Amino acid sequence: MRKKKYDFNVVAISKRSNIVVSVIIGIIAISCITPYLIAFLISFASKSSIDMYGYQLIPSAFSLESYKILSLFGTEIRNAYLTTIFVVVVGTVLVLLITTTYGYVISRRDFRWSKHLTFYVFLTMLFSAGMVPNYMIITRVLNLKNTVWALIVPALVNPYWIIIAKTFFQMTVPKEIIESAKIDGATEMTIYRKIVMPVSLPVIATIGLFSTIGYWNSWFEAMLYIDVDYLNSLQYLLIRIQANIDFLIKNASLIGPEAQSMVQNLPKQSFMMALMVVSTLPLVLAYPYFQRYIVGGLTIGSVK
């Protein structure tokens, strides 16, 4: 009791410096979210208010104009969402299967080839062939160009995550339990299903989250491997629209005269921010819940 009171007084910073520190950290923290919030608000600015007042931090009049125009491209956006969700779900499930099984196998110290297989994956962290040979394998050998698998396959193997999983299993699955299960006649599959899988939830959560963010935000694969419009992921749709907003204006004339006139009055920047908001909102709303698993993953990974 005495000690607690004591160290509060002595070790903690003074009230006045706490205020100073809190204000500085507060300013940094707020400057981390304001750019997104500002872009969010701009998506509600109407063309007329922009013409009159420019981009205000808080638009004088809120309007859903940009979102209405956005809805004209509902098919493109829906396709991009479907592609992205497919890639995230299928990709993450496969990544988890690969990472946890392989990580578990190389975590077994009694397994004769665990060291060899660890080195086999570790070497890929140190040396890579580079973009061009990888491109050739995906397009010429596996023939994945312009398929949804080109967005999934290149990111399936992540050596860092495999090492994290290995470390995790070495810490959480005692070898005595595995030995006794083997004596009882359990097969490796049973051991994995009954003993290993139930305790692997934390590592599944962490790696699943990293993989979800990774696939949701990936665009490089799409830039390399996708040339067809119906396989645009959300990120790639953003890239293509930013590179050429006329691409949309051109498409609008196909939709009808009404759409065309709307697009001519396009509040370009609000429209782009609306697209940005639509493509990020799920992740932005969910991330505060995800965050602690990243911290968890860092602590798992830091123990070698």
Residue 117 touches another protein, criterion: CB under 8 A: yes
Q: Is 217 exposed, middle or buried (0-12, 13-18, 19+ CB in 10 A)?
A: middle
Whether 47 and 65 have beta carbons less than 8 Å apart is answered as: yes
Site for another protein in 260-279 (CB under 8 A): 269, 272-273, 275-276, 279
Rounded least distance, CB 262 to another protein, Å: 20
Whichever of 183 and 189 has its CB closer to another protein, that residue is: 189
Binding-site member from 82, 85, 137, 249 for another protein (CB under 8 A): 137
Whichever of 124 and 264 has its CB closer to another protein, that residue is: 124
Whichever of 67 and 135 has its CB closer to another protein, that residue is: 135
Residue 254 touches another protein, criterion: CB under 8 A: no
Binding-site member from 122, 171, 174, 175 for another protein (CB under 8 A): 122
Binding-site member from 72, 80, 121, 231 for another protein (CB under 8 A): 121
Q: Between the CA of residue 191 and those of 100, 111, 113, 179, 195, what are the distances in Å?
A: 14, 14, 19, 10, 5
Whether 165 and 203 have beta carbons less than 8 Å apart is answered as: yes
Residue 141 touches another protein, criterion: CB under 8 A: yes
Residues with Cβ within 8 Å of residue 108, at least 6 apart in sequence: 114, 175, 178
Whether 77 and 69 have beta carbons less than 8 Å apart is answered as: no
Residue 150 touches another protein, criterion: CB under 8 A: no
Identify which range of 73-81, 144-152, 254-262, 290-298 contacts another protein by CB under 8 A: 290-298
Helix (H, G, I), strand (E, B) or coil at 219: coil
Binding-site member from 161, 169, 192, 210 for another protein (CB under 8 A): 192
Can you tell me which residue has the tokens 């979210």? 33
Residues with Cβ within 8 Å of residue 214, at least 6 apart in sequence: 155
Site for another protein in 17-36 (CB under 8 A): 17-18, 21-22, 24-26, 28-33, 35-36
